[in-house]
Amino acid sequence: MMSMLVVAAIVVAVALGYKTRINIGLFAIAFAYLIGCFGMGLSPSEIIGMWPLKIFFVIFSVCLFYSFATVNGTLEKLAEHLIYQCRTVPQLLPFAVFFTATAISAMGAGYYTVLAFMAPITLLLCQRTGMSLITGGMAVNYGALSGANFVSSQSGIIFRGLMVNAGIPENEAFINAAGIFVSTLVIPLVVISGLVFMTGHGKAMKASAYLATAPTPLNREQKMTLWLTLLMMAIVLAAPIANIILPDNATVSFINAKMDIGLIASLFSVVALLLKLGDERKAMASVPWATLIMICGVGMLISVAIKAGTIDLLASWMGNSIPPIMVPVVFGVVAAFMSLFSSTLGVVTPALFPMVPAIASTLGLDPMILFIAIVVGSQATSISPFSSGGSLILGACPTEESRTSLFPQLLLRAAPLGFVAALIFNLLLTFVY
């Protein structure tokens, strides 16, 4: 009974957030308090203790440091330079857009930030080069998603934190997150390649000619920010990779044990401030507070669900009712459906990731397959005009005519194409493993 109540609370919180445009995390906190304290007899201190403090600290610290590159224009200038280099081969422009969005997002800008400044650039290029709106939209959207999934970027860090909270060891969580990144990098590349080389889009772009204005060079602050960002990424990645390669080396193990991306990012934020690379108030304002509240609020309600035995109950039902070979596919479909109405980071992964270890153990599956299936499925429909990604792309359209033309393309072509590609990938992943 209590398990069903918690599931209903999660659904109602998402529905209320979607309907009222109020942060889902706030509804989740309210339900966690009401159900936990008055339905399950937990103390208020226990409910407050369910706030995922480590995830909150890591996301805050990393986003604060990366926000300097956004505030001082480093990432936007870098995007202009990278796309400018592709001016002589317009037929490869979709790949340039994709990899530029991936690189900028992997450097910490995050999905929404990259879309905010790259979607207008991409749609303008569509007008000038003959690149179709759907190809450009998919390239920038899935590039931003893929980069954000990088192990040291915003989404990748959240995925790792959720896995560790679900009982996955740190090293395994790192490998699983790397698997998610590679998967979400490969799928869009295959889809974009099909659109460019197997349709008339590539020929149309090759025949076009457009003038590109050379961007101005990076200034002192932007150059220093870029090098500082690359240095932090190198430090964050070096220790866990070395530990995977040399698991029995005492020195490597010691150094890896002392590495924490949240603390490292905090240190680099201080360095950025001392070097005057950006305004502290603007950097603080750039931290995605709404996303933080949503992730942590839903995390509290999920913790109540775990306490009530809801997660174990759902895991047991899925383990007994669905053939093992179809579990990853089912996870992907459920995640894709949930993503139509809610956030991958704030709702879908916090709700589904805790179920993975129990189901994987029961069915003898590799947890990484299920984690990948969830993220791939969830992000497949992110380009729908009803989702945040699709709506940002529509908002970036330069004219009302292009917006009217793009809406049905995103809804009836891009979103179904992304979903089918994700479904095929999850099926192949299941059979390969």
- In this prediction, residue 202 has a pLDDT band, given cuts at 50, 70 and 90, of low
pLDDT of residue 371: 95
Residue 337 lies in a domain: no
Please tell me the number of Cα atoms within 13 Å of 216 on its side-chain side.
6
Residue 295 lies in a domain: no
3-state helix, strand, coil in the chain (%, to 5): 80, 0, 20
Paired tokens of 114: 């990259």
Compute how many other C-beta atoms are within 10 angstroms of the C-beta atom of residue 196: 23
Residue 275 lies in a domain: yes
* Number of domains comprising the chain: 1
Say if residues 136 and 94 touch (Cβ distance below 8 Å): yes
Query: pLDDT of 232-261, one tens digit each?
Result: 888 888 888 888 888 888 898 898 888 888
pLDDT of residue 398: 65
Mean pLDDT of 390-414: 77
pLDDT of residue 206: 52
Residue 85 has pLDDT above 80, yes or no: no
- In this prediction, residue 430 has a pLDDT band, given cuts at 50, 70 and 90, of confident
Residue 80 has pLDDT above 60, yes or no: yes
pLDDT of residue 274: 95
Residue 132 lies in a domain: yes
**Residue 81: which domain range?**
52-287
Residue 210 has pLDDT above 80, yes or no: no
Q: pTM for the whole thing? A: 0.81
If you average pLDDT over every residue of the chain, what do you get? 84
Report the distance separating Cα 149 and Cα 162, nearest Å: 13
Mean pLDDT of 23-49: 92
Of the candidates 58, 72, 17, 365, which has an alpha carbon nearest to the alpha carbon of residue 220? Answer: 72
Helix and strand totals (H; E) in the chain:
24, 0
Residue 407 lies in a domain: no
Query: pLDDT of 293-338, one tens digit each?
Result: 888 888 898 889 888 887 777 777 776 778 888 888 989 988 888 7
Residue 255 lies in a domain: yes
Residue 282 lies in a domain: yes
pLDDT of residue 204: 55
Alpha helices in 130-274 (DSSP H): 133-148, 154-165, 170-197, 201-207, 220-245, 250-257, 261-274
Residue 378 lies in a domain: no
| Range in 180-189, 217-226, 345-354 the model is least confident about | 345-354
DSSP 149: T
Say if residues 146 and 114 touch (Cβ distance below 8 Å): no
